[in-house]
Amino acid sequence: MTDFRAGYVAIVGRPNVGKSTLMNHLIGQKISITSAKPQTTRHRVLGIDSGDGYQAVYVDTPGLHLGAKKAMNRYMNRAAAGSLEGVDLVLFVIEAGRWTAEDEMVLTRLAEVTVPVILVVNKVDKFPDKTTLLPLLAELAKKREFAEVVPVSALKDSNLPSLRKQVPRYLPQGEAIFEQDQLTDRSQRFLAAEIVREKLMRNLGEELPYALTVEIEQFKEEGGVYDIAAVIWVERDGQKKIVIGKGGAGLKLVGQQAREDMEKLFQYRVFLRLWVKVKEGWSDDERALRSLGYSDD
């Protein structure tokens, strides 16, 4: 099929600009977890959009950020920077009306990129008066030679069909990389762990989500039900108590919300069990990170 186009599209930007929400809406399925907290995304996750005559493989990445002191932060920056290798197009996502030192850092990284870069200006719903938005877009367009400058609202699904239509134009001609009905390269096991972590990110206070991770200890199908057992690792005993909550209420809520999302995604009944355990200093220990699935592969 000579006119078929297929390729990889990296979605990059600083933390909390809406990269994961953007990818989920572009592929029409929630694959990457989201929350209002920065650095929710920790891994590279592929989202596959197979359309008429094209296949765009989006690479959702952790936010590139300054002050990466812990091993976990260094891992996330490596994952984000590594996603720029071997791609055919980059979507550089920023927040409308806000340009930070971290945006500037991403822009500097993109100076080494030879493929086209589309600037995606997200959260434009904050500017109901479009006349105030136009000068901002014109100013942003001067920052480098962008293939396009596209204003969107990922959350409100505004102007995303237009962006989705433009992407294949920049992909090389070639055969599909994945099966037409495949949505991600990640396993159900990985997605289950991420769903639990999302619910923790959304239900807990500011600091704690960064001190925890989720490991799936069991994932098996039995009698028409997925039997899933997950461990929530924290760094201190005090954190364990907070996650469990008074009378186990916190853990129960997370489990209930996670199970509902898993059943929606997997289209299967789910029996979910959660435990909370302590592994001191795991987020600043390279070996512990690798054992918990944070590898650079």
pLDDT at 296 over 80: no
- Please tell me whether residues 128 and 193 are part of one structural domain: no
pLDDT-derived band of residue 58, with 50, 70 and 90 as boundaries? very high
Tell whether 14 and 159 lie within a shared domain: yes
Q: Looking at the structure, do residues 193 and 166 belong to the same domain, yes or no?
A: no
Among 295, 177, 269, 277, which residue's Cα sits nearest to residue 235?
277
**Burial of residue 181 (number of CB atoms within 10 Å: 0-12, 13-18, 19+):** exposed
Residue 297 domain-assigned?
no
Q: What is the pLDDT of residue 1?
A: 47
Task: Indicate which CATH number applies to the domain containing 286.
Answer: 3.30.300.20
Mean of all residue pLDDT scores within the chain: 93
In-domain check, residue 153 = yes
Cβ partners under 8 Å of residue 176, min gap 6: 4, 6, 50, 55
> Mean of the pLDDT values across residues 123-149?
91
Query: Do residues 26 and 163 share a domain?
Result: yes
What percent of the chain is modeled with pLDDT above 70? 98
Q: Is the residue at 179 inside a domain?
A: no
Do 159 and 197 belong to one domain?
no
Q: What's the pLDDT score for residue 49?
A: 97
Q: Among 59-73, 139-153, 184-198, 274-288, whose mean pLDDT is lowest? A: 59-73
Instruction: pLDDT band for 36, please (50, 70, 90 cuts).
Output: confident
On the question of pLDDT at 192 being above 80, the answer is: yes
Question: 31 with 163, same domain?
Answer: yes
Contact (CB, 8 A) for 253 and 203: yes
Identify whether 234 is part of a domain: yes
List the domain range (segments joined by +) for residue 162: 5-170
Of the residues 137, 170, 203, which one is the last residue of a structural domain?
Answer: 170
- Between strands 5-12 and 89-95, the pairing is parallel
Instruction: Indicate whether 181 belongs to any domain.
Output: no
Tell whether 247 and 206 lie within a shared domain.
yes
Are residues 160 and 30 in contact, defined by beta-carbon separation less than 8 angstroms? no
Q: Are residues 162 and 195 in the same domain?
A: no
CATH number at residue 94: 3.40.50.300
Regarding whether 161 and 245 lie in a shared domain, the answer is: no
Q: What mean pLDDT do residues 36-63 have?
A: 92
Same-domain status, 12 and 100: yes
Tell me, what's the pLDDT at 2? 63
Give dist(CA 132, CA 215) in Å, integer: 46
pLDDT at residue 297, rounded to an integer: 62
Under DSSP, is residue 88 helix (H, G, I), strand (E, B) or coil?
coil
Distances (CA, A) of 268 to 182, 224, 262: 17, 8, 8
- The answer to whether residues 226 and 132 belong to one domain is no
Task: Please indicate, yes or no, if residue 269 is contained in any of the structural domains.
Answer: yes
Within-domain flag for 178: no
The model's pLDDT over 60-90, given as tens digits with 9 standing for 90+, comes to: 988 888 876 788 988 888 888 888 899 999 9
How many domains is the chain built from? 2
Measured in whole angstroms, the distance separating CA 56 from the mean position of its chain's CA atoms is 16
Do 163 and 210 reside in the same domain of the chain? Answer: no
